[in-house]
Copies of this chain bind each other. A is one copy, B any other.
């Protein structure tokens, strides 16, 4: 069946919530009690194929993203896959430039995250239709097709279609060897699972031991609490993992600019490989100043950056050493293509944010594409790994010896098992029917 014959007949949305707050999983200095959740969508077609997509949320408020998806679905229903992919940038813009909806952004927050989930579902469908994993589909698309998927509006002062085409064409050289290398050796990763904010010292020690035994060499610790606690926990991790391994620290936006500089310098003795989210994600100039004043400690941010215009400026202002894309806060794969290419232009390595619900499953495809078609290197690049909720996925990530081994299954690996969708649908799934407490119930529509 060709892409012009595959038609989206309806879009089903699900408010999906996992009760992770019960175990402090995902806890950090700012996000104390996340219930890892997703506004989930399924594009149903006339061809038996489905496209699955999601945007990641923390529990309450997921219903807003679901409603926004419901609204934006109008731009997908009755479209053939070919109509969408033939001018993918124009399609993406119909979702981000709805003349009334746009006022609620533009291109940020609830409505943009909803657009991201839907666009990712289209890519999942596209890759399934082409019978390829997304990373391979992207790598094998013609450079012209990649360029036509990017909306250059508002970034064409730093990235032009013509130069983008040139970069992508150049990367066709030796791409086959890189594909073989990626398949054989995987892509480097780091683990965040050892150092959540709510974990006790004992638990951190035990988890470090286990992670070392599993072959991990890159570790991330949540900071942003009492300065003495942060340092004690950091020393603890260093004691366990030694100095030959990488340790990153992550403040999750806890500090103002002055405080971030002070606190980062206090953590210098830990020799962090990077300091992540030292301050507010909107503060481009703040990050630039922090970076200047804490050198040589490297600055990372991005998981909360709302769109390509903010990433553009973080790069222009020399505010970051590490560009942390997120697969669904921005408008999906298309916007991330633009961000990967801008990062490449500015020579900044991309290390995706992951964890959450299915973020690991998704971002491995984007890093794969970065290696195969954009940066052509894995130097200083690692994908975040968090070891939870993978059991709910039809094609969970395969991580061994601290490396991602990319899937060969067609699609974008977003698909969640039907039984998990049924159990954790909010508020009427089996889990929530049995466990809904007063506080959760307050956000029921």
Please state if B34 and A99 are interface contacts (CB–CB under 8 Å): yes
Please state if B60 and A157 are interface contacts (CB–CB under 8 Å): no
Please state if B99 and A32 are interface contacts (CB–CB under 8 Å): yes
Please state if A104 and B154 are interface contacts (CB–CB under 8 Å): no
Q: Does A394 count as interface, using CB distance less than 8 angstroms?
A: no
Q: Does A306 count as interface, using CB distance less than 8 angstroms?
A: yes
Q: Does A86 count as interface, using CB distance less than 8 angstroms?
A: no
Q: Does A239 count as interface, using CB distance less than 8 angstroms?
A: no
Chain B residues near A102 (CB-CB < 8 A): 30-31, 58
Complex-state Cα separation, A155 to B282, whole angstroms: 11
Please state if B111 and A110 are interface contacts (CB–CB under 8 Å): yes
Q: How far is the CB of A164 from chain B (nearest CB, A)?
A: 15
Complex-state Cα separation, A281 to B104, whole angstroms: 13
A contact patch SS: loop
Q: How many copies does the complex hold?
A: 2
Q: Does A296 count as interface, using CB distance less than 8 angstroms?
A: no
Complex-state Cα separation, A312 to B283, whole angstroms: 9
Please state if B61 and A157 are interface contacts (CB–CB under 8 Å): no
Complex-state Cα separation, A4 to B135, whole angstroms: 61
Complex-state Cα separation, A97 to B108, whole angstroms: 17
With A102-B30, A306-B108 as contacts: A67 and B64 at CB distance below 8 Å? yes
Complex-state Cα separation, A307 to B304, whole angstroms: 15
| A285 partner, pick from B99, B106, B284, beta carbons under 8 A | B284
- Stretch with Cβ within 8 A of B (4 or more), from A6-14, A252-260, A382-390: A252-260
Please state if B74 and A67 are interface contacts (CB–CB under 8 Å): no
Please state if A99 and B31 are interface contacts (CB–CB under 8 Å): yes
With A67-B64, A111-B110, A157-B257 as contacts: A317 and B103 at CB distance below 8 Å? no
14 chain-A/chain-B pairs, Cβ below 8 angstroms: A30-B102, A33-B99, A58-B101, A61-B71, A61-B103, A61-B111, A64-B64, A71-B442, A109-B110, A156-B256, A157-B286, A157-B289, A280-B309, A284-B313
Closest 9 pairs (CB-CB, A-B): A109-B109, A157-B257, A59-B100, A58-B103, A110-B110, A60-B100, A282-B309, A58-B100, A154-B280
